[in-house]
Amino acid sequence: MDEPTTGLDARAAATVIQAVKNVADTGRTIVCTIHQPSIDIFEAFDELVLVKTGGHLIYSGPLGQHSSSVIKYFEGIPGVPKIRNNYNPATWMFEVTSTSVEAALGVDFAQKYRESALYMKNKEYVRQFSSPPPGSRDLHFITRFSQNTWGQLKSCLWNQNLAYWRSPAYNLMRIMHSLASALIFGILYWNQGKSL
């Protein structure tokens, strides 16, 4: 999802994120970009991938309860100021990882991430999950399509039928227009073929 809360007020944004969270709770993976989230919206997420200008990864991992994991990670970097009480962790995180703070501290957050234990843990996850379990086989499908030609034709015809009958008033006007056009052209060219 690309910025699902853009242009919404706080209540509507919270409603959208709660709906997204409900879908995620069913076991589906949802990837979502978001800008300047409130505390409630930010803490509805389980994992965070933070990228700095240029597309360099500076954090990828769990958010933790009340953003504790991400706060602990960034506060562990020397020179990064501690978060104030009741401060939005998303705002704090953007402030302490900005280009100007990075230059003032003389720190490359992307390099710090690549040197971290979190990076090594993520790399191990990628290695572990990128190889199939022993004894497994590649997926093989008997046919190219999930349905045969007749099934596809029936599905297409049914969808076309639904599309036409979603607005009966439009279809009625099309039929009346066709009848009126036929009547007008029929009257205009009545007995014209015999006069040539």
CA separation for the pair 81, 98 (Å, rounded): 13
76-79 long-range Cβ contacts below 8 angstroms, 24+ apart: 77/107, 77/109, 77/112, 78/105, 78/107, 79/105, 79/107
- Residue 82's nearest CA partner among 92, 91, 70, 68 is 92
pLDDT class for 196, splitting at 50, 70, 90?
low
pLDDT of residue 62: 92
Same structural domain, 88 and 163: no
Final residue belonging to a domain, choices 83, 101, 130:
130
Assess if residue 92 is contained within a domain.
Answer: yes
pLDDT of residue 49: 92
pTM: 0.64
Assess if residue 196 is contained within a domain.
Answer: no
CA atoms within 13 A on the CB side of 65: 0
- What average pLDDT does range 92-110 have in this prediction? 90
The string of pLDDT tens digits covering residues 115-127 is 999 999 999 999 9
Final residue belonging to a domain, choices 130, 157, 172:
130
Same structural domain, 52 and 88: yes
pLDDT class for 181, splitting at 50, 70, 90?
very high
Domain around 99: 10-130
Same structural domain, 54 and 98: yes
Same structural domain, 26 and 102: yes
pLDDT at 193 over 80: no
| Residues making up the chain, counted from first to last | 196
Q: Is 149 helix (H, G, I), strand (E, B) or coil?
A: helix
| DSSP symbols for 45-111 | -SEEEEEETTTEEEEEEE--GGGHHHHHHHHTSTTPPPPPTT--HHHHHHHHTSHHHHHHHT--HHH
The string of pLDDT tens digits covering residues 134-150 is 888 888 888 888 888 99
Same structural domain, 111 and 24: yes
Same structural domain, 161 and 79: no
Same structural domain, 59 and 156: no
Number of structural domains found in the chain: 2
Which of these ranges, 55-64, 81-90, 131-140, has the smallest mean pLDDT? 131-140
User: Percentage of residues in the chain with pLDDT exceeding 70?
Assistant: 98
Final residue belonging to a domain, choices 99, 130, 161:
130
Same structural domain, 68 and 163: no
Which of these ranges, 65-69, 146-150, 172-176, 190-194, has the smallest mean pLDDT? 190-194
Assess if residue 108 is contained within a domain.
Answer: yes
Same structural domain, 170 and 79: no
